[in-house]
Structure 1
């Protein structure tokens, strides 16, 4: 019996001890769990964070923005009614409780002296045990960090705004632009930098920053996502400056083209008229309305044909082939044609290729130039006829010894055309004069430097008899040499026997 009693007592003692141990273990676990479930609480003084619980600091670390206050208010603004986020009202009230999406509660207590304590309570997460795979959680956190870092370091402005136009989220570039425009730390709610309008989404447009003294421009594209507008804006200042410079350059060219007397017509790669100047209207007589309608090249040429402003073609087929050749030649390289119009005018038409397949045509009225050229040629022809009709044989040498010109009488007297140089001519005369004493005097006279004196003498003619010669200087170092038959036989013989005396007599008479 004693043994049974001892065994029963020992069993009862062990049971009591085990129950005590179990009770103590539950209390320890409960204390540990209570300690782990810290609230999400923040303590601010004049919008500067003084203290926060561990979960609260973890939440701030995951939010974008500059200051802790700005990050927290921005995060709450996306989850609470817009009218609730009033910083002035928060600082004046003693205690406020706000309720947002999904039952989120925010308790704000004014502790005085500028101190505010915020406590966040999420009923959906209370007493909820959620098991997450560590690898999945690490991958999600890594992707979130990459996305946040990419958006914060991007020069592109990105933000979200609701249907009322209130900005609910923005990246670092947007916040820095807000601070640059306002000259202070970005307030909340964030101001709108751009007026996006009410157009369809998605849409691209170029917008300017509102109330900005720097006149910054951005290329903005918007999308509709989950009832909000997501917008992204790329800086476009360089593009705007380039477009403005291009417009000013085009205006300068247009003003310059307007003053040109040459008609200009530029056709694009589709051969439609893109640019013309007033001179084209004056030269072609085409209506302004027709030119501003951007006709094709062949419509333009057909209208010129109807206005008789092109050379008269034999038939339409040959005309079309001619215009096709003109267009092909102008596209491949510089091409010039002279058009003699039925009205008596003469136009020079120049085709030049331009980048991207465009082609430009220049129409220049050269009627006066052609008339002047014809007149000049007529005068030259008349001068040549008079020069050839003279009885004297004439030849002109240049300063370098080249033969510049000679008349028909020279060829007849010397029985051969003039040589190319003075040396060639002297060699010919030496053979034709057959040792005439007067030829040496002529050679000596031609070898002398330019002088203002008129030299003369006589040489034996190839056909017999004597030729008197006369040498004088012209401008530019040129020499004029004339030959004439000597009429008096006595004078011929005396000049042949005493060529030096004949030369001296000629000098005195000159």
Structure 2
């Protein structure tokens, strides 16, 4: 009986314990379902971004505020670093902060942008002489976002790389908003604009605007702008612009070397132009497309082409056509042959130095010279040589008349230059010594002629005296004597020094020497020519 009672008691206690355990489990489940979630793990609680400044010295700041200062790339005081972030986003931030002590509290709203983001708000309060600045992001509303550590590290590394790249760039890079205010600049721009005080490397804000670029002025390509440097010297830059959200991005590349090179080129061209303007020779330079690029005033006078036509940069063939119409070039037989001749002229001038002589219908004579220039250009020079040709013709006529006069003389005459070559001889000389005068000019020397004279004459001491006489300088006393030919005839010899050291030899036999027939001149086998060994 007692055992049955104990067994019943054990069963009851077990049932009660199971019920109690079930109630405890249910209460826990219900309590977890009823407990509200305070914050999502994706948006943990975040402190406000609050700064406390005593003038420009940071007294205290929250953790997000210090993180913001650390992320600012500008060196200098904490106030300068904060201004770098706030000033581009809030209009007239500096002016508003200067009135904080008088107003006690102010609130600013970020300038609206084109990116659709919510505008930041700034609240500044004066608390016992200290400035308490609070930044509020409406999108965050005091919440942070959980970010993967590796992703955050990759973003920071990339940001650091971009900052280093822009700070090392020699080009000036800056951004301007829609109002034309500079909102960001790289280190080269900051240093060039003297916006960074070297004493404590404090950044002056707002950043000065170095280039007065009108809106839209750079939309059609780069533009060269200048700023004033030290010592009233200008510093030149090639400026490029690119429209971006809420403003414009500018790049200014140094162009001082280019400007100096262009100035040197302009000065050189001006010097050449002044030089060409004083030349009596007409100059015409055609580029590789055979268009006229440069000419001088003498070309106008020589070709009688109007300045309007030449200023229009005609082609080479249009230029030659106009010369043909103006009868300033030789009259061609037909147009086809003329075109062929002009084509050959162009090819010859492009290949190397080429010269032609044009005898014009007016009686003038032009020397046309074509010369190639770098990059396929061709230069033509037009020179009036009419007076030179006239002088040459007159000299040639005088020389011919002198030869005719010498040929009429019965005395045999030969003239040798100071260097020893025969300069001229007359018909009587050729008949006496049985030589052809034309074959001896420039080929026979005085020594060759002396051998001839000795071979055709009996031995005589005058030939030895003649050698000494020809080598003697300054003595112009004539040398004369009488020798006997091997044929038995006697001849009178007279040698005299002319101006410039030339030697004139004269031989006289007392009767006229008739010129030898052509078949006997140089054709006899009993004696060689003078120039033969």
* Conserved 8 A contact 1:267-1:273: yes
Q: 1:47 & 1:207 partners in 2: Cα distance?
A: 40
Q: Please identify runs of 4+ aligned residues in structure 1 that moved more than 6 A.
A: 180-185
Per-residue displacement from partner, 1:299-340 (whole Å, max 9, x unpaired)?
111011000001000000001011111111111212111111
- Deviation, 1:445, is 3.1
Please say if 1:288 is aligned against 2:307: yes
1:317 aligns with: 336
Q: Say which SS state the counterpart of residue 125 (structure 1) adopts.
A: coil
1:426 aligns with: 450
1:64 aligns with: 73
- Deviation, 1:369, is 1.0
Mark the runs of 5 or more structure 1 residues left unpaired by the alignment: 20-28, 488-510
- Deviation, 1:89, is 3.4
* Conserved 8 A contact 2:284-2:380: yes
* Conserved 8 A contact 2:176-2:248: yes
Pick the aligned partner of 2:382 from 314, 338, 363.
363
Give matches, 1:159-308, under 5 Å. 159-179=174-194, 187-199=204-216, 202-209=219-226, 213-308=232-327
Q: Say which structure, 1 or 2, has more relative contact order (CA 8 Å, 6+ apart).
A: 2
Q: 1:479 & 1:264 partners in 2: Cα distance?
A: 46
TM-score, L = length of structure 1: 0.81
* Conserved 8 A contact 1:203-1:223: no
* Conserved 8 A contact 2:329-2:359: yes
Pick the aligned partner of 1:106 from 122, 142, 161.
122
* Conserved 8 A contact 1:111-1:117: yes
* Conserved 8 A contact 1:106-1:121: yes
Q: 2:325 & 2:361 partners in 1: Cα distance?
A: 12
- Deviation, 1:283, is 0.7
- Deviation, 1:38, is 4.6
2:462 aligns with: 441
Residues 1:127 and 1:188: Cα distance change in structure 2 (over 3 Å): closer
* Number of positions where the alignment pairs a residue of Structure 1 with one of Structure 2: 467
Q: Once structures 1 and 2 are overlaid, which stretch shifts more, 191-200 or 135-144? A: 191-200
- Deviation, 1:423, is 3.0
Residues 1:186 and 1:295: Cα distance change in structure 2 (over 3 Å): farther
Q: 1:79 & 1:92 partners in 2: Cα distance?
A: 23
TM-score, L = length of structure 2: 0.78
Mark the runs of 5 or more structure 2 residues left unpaired by the alignment: 1-8, 29-37, 113-117, 512-533
Per-residue displacement from partner, 1:53-83 (whole Å, max 9, x unpaired)?
4433332232233434333223213332x23
Residues 1:328 and 1:244: Cα distance change in structure 2 (over 3 Å): same
Q: 2:225 & 2:208 partners in 1: Cα distance?
A: 14
> Over aligned residues, Cα RMSD in angstroms?
3.6
Q: 1:290 & 1:72 partners in 2: Cα distance?
A: 67
Residues 1:71 and 1:257: Cα distance change in structure 2 (over 3 Å): farther
Residues 1:452 and 1:91: Cα distance change in structure 2 (over 3 Å): farther
Q: Once structures 1 and 2 are overlaid, which stretch shifts more, 129-138 or 443-452? A: 443-452
Please say if 1:390 is aligned against 2:414: no
